[in-house]
């Protein structure tokens, strides 16, 4: 596209005038979403995680087999091997630090360090009086770290639209597919020098893409839009055309206002947020490496017991009234005990292989695998002498993240308090 073309200039003006609410909104590209939707309509089967790694070793010639190869990253140590379709974190990776100098002179010292966290800058717009700098300024502080990779922008509708006067528009776009747009007009606080009221439009554009466009634009930034004197006058067409020109205005219809509509949109926006987590824990003895060997370990060693005590508390399942992650709290059909933890208003239930029911003469141990095999995150605890782990040995469609923990000098007289090394 020519640098001086009107389309490019208009796009630059829109980007300057639209204030994204959060970082994920910046990545929302409606034009790309339309192209991606066309691509996904032709691509049906995509194998990922442990399933992709294990399938690569025994590839079939059927049309549903993997067509894209990923050799892995080549990183390996004594805990785990390099594996196709996986990226290993084995320690020593450089972490970028943000240093804020008090002055601009290069000779001045005394930088103010920030911890390597993303949660503090996830949301770009804060109410008056609040700030991005919610964490202590030292990266070596010992306070509990916040849970990261949470879509804080998903609360945008709850904070600025829910149970407040706004419009919801729905339609089936030829390129984007189903579209749901929320628009709200609000009055901005008057500055001392302002001679008239200033208004702002908040916009939320949902498509079939994972990323949602969330943000706001000042009324006077929209071209050819006459200033208004009330929040009752909402210029929806002009706002959408300016902020999201990829959306076909003709396909949109004004939705029915009411609690049911708002509750449905709230549920849609926050469906990715959760305070309940389930994690699988597998026990690997010396000399072991395969999935079947780990599932068939009947009893746990003292090092494994100590590790379980460090990540949670053992709870009696019968009568347990908190998050049970599919475990039976009535008839003990999934074992007598499990390991449970709470962290920053979140609940975590660990599916521990040695605490789940053991079936003699059953190599697959389906009563154990039915829980751990459906967990996205799995901890593999290795006793000294265990073989390096590789996801190739796991047959599961769900297990995607493996945290490998190995006991160091477990429970010896010289080291009564043992340590653990880990890789991901």
Taking the chain (424 residues) in runs of 10, the rounded mean pLDDT of each run is 52 75 90 70 66 65 55 88 88 63 50 57 76 59 67 93 97 94 91 76 92 94 83 91 94 95 97 94 96 95 94 97 97 97 94 97 94 96 94 92 88 53 62
Q: Count the neighbouring beta carbons within 10 Å of the beta carbon of residue 325.
A: 21
Cα separation, 80 vs 92, in Å, equals 15
What's the gap between Cα 9 and its chain centre? 34
> Per DSSP, what are the bridge partners of residue 181?
169, 205
**Six-digit token string for 257:** 């206002």
Nearest one of 176, 233, 205 to 18, comparing CA atoms: 205
Cα separation, 89 vs 65, in Å, equals 28
Do residues 381 and 308 lie in contact, with contact meaning Cβ atoms separated by under 8 Å? no
Report the sign of the C-alpha dihedral through residues 53, 54, 55, 58, in that order: positive
Cα separation, 71 vs 81, in Å, equals 12
Residue 33 pLDDT: 72
| Topology (CATH level 3) of domain 10-36+154-269 | Arylsulfatase, C-terminal domain (3.30.1120)
Task: Name the pairing type of β-strands 276-284 and 419-423.
Answer: unpaired
Residue 134 pLDDT: 58
pTM for this one?
0.78
Residue 12 pLDDT: 60
Evaluate whether the domain defined by 276-423 bears CATH number 3.40.50.11210.
yes
Report the sign of the C-alpha dihedral through residues 304, 306, 310, 316, in that order: positive
Cα separation, 191 vs 55, in Å, equals 63
**Six-digit token string for 206:** 């949902």
Domain boundaries in the chain?
Answer: 10-36+154-269, 276-423
Do residues 202 and 231 lie in contact, with contact meaning Cβ atoms separated by under 8 Å? no
């Amino acid at each position: 596209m020519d640098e001086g073309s009107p389309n490019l200039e208009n796009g630059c003006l829109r980007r300057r005038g639209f204030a994204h609410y959060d970082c994920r909104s910046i990545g929302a590209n409606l034009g790309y979403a339309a192209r991606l939707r066309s691509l996904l309509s032709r691509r049906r089967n995509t194998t990922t995680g442990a399933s992709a790694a294990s399938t690569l070793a025994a590839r079939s010639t059927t049309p549903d087999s993997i067509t894209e190869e990923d050799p892995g990253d080549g990183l390996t140590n004594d805990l785990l091997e390099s594996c196709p379709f996986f990226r290993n974190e084995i320690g020593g990776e450089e972490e970028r630090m943000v240093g804020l100098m008090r002055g601009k002179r290069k000779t001045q010292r005394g930088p103010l360090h920030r911890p390597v966290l993303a949660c503090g800058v996830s949301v770009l717009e804060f109410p008056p009086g609040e700030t991005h700098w919610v964490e202590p300024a030292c990266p070596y502080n010992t306070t509990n770290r916040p849970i990261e990779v949470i879509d804080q922008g998903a609360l945008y509708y709850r904070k600025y639209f829910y149970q407040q006067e706004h419009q919801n528009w729905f339609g089936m776009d030829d390129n984007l597919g189903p579209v749901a747009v929320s628009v709200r007009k609000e009055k901005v606080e008057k500055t001392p020098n302002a001679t008239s009221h200033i208004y702002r439009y908040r916009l939320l554009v949902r498509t079939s893409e994972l990323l949602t466009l969330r943000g706001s634009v000042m009324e006077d930034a929209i071209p050819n839009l006459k200033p208004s004197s009330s929040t009752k006058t909402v210029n929806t067409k002009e706002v959408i055309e300016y902020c999201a020109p990829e959306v076909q205005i003709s396909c949109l219809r004004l939705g029915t206002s009411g609690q049911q509509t708002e509750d449905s949109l709230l549920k849609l926006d926050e469906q990715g947020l959760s305070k309940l987590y389930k994690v699988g824990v597998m026990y690997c003895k010396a000399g072991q490496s395969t999935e079947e060997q780990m599932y068939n370990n009947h009893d746990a060693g003292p090092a494994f017991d100590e590790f379980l005590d460090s990540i949670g508390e053992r709870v009696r399942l019968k009568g347990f009234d908190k998050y049970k992650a599919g475990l039976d709290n009535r008839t003990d059909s999934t074992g007598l005990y499990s390991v449970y933890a709470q962290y920053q208003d979140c609940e975590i239930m660990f599916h521990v292989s040695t605490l789940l029911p053991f079936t003699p003469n059953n190599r697959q141990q389906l009563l154990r695998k039915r829980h751990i095999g459906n967990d996205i995150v799995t901890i593999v605890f290795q006793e000294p002498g265990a073989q390096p782990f590789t996801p190739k040995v796991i047959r599961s469609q769900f297990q995607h993240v493996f945290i490998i923990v190995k006991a160091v000098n477990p429970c010896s007289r010289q080291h009564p308090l043992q340590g653990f090394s880990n890789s991901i």
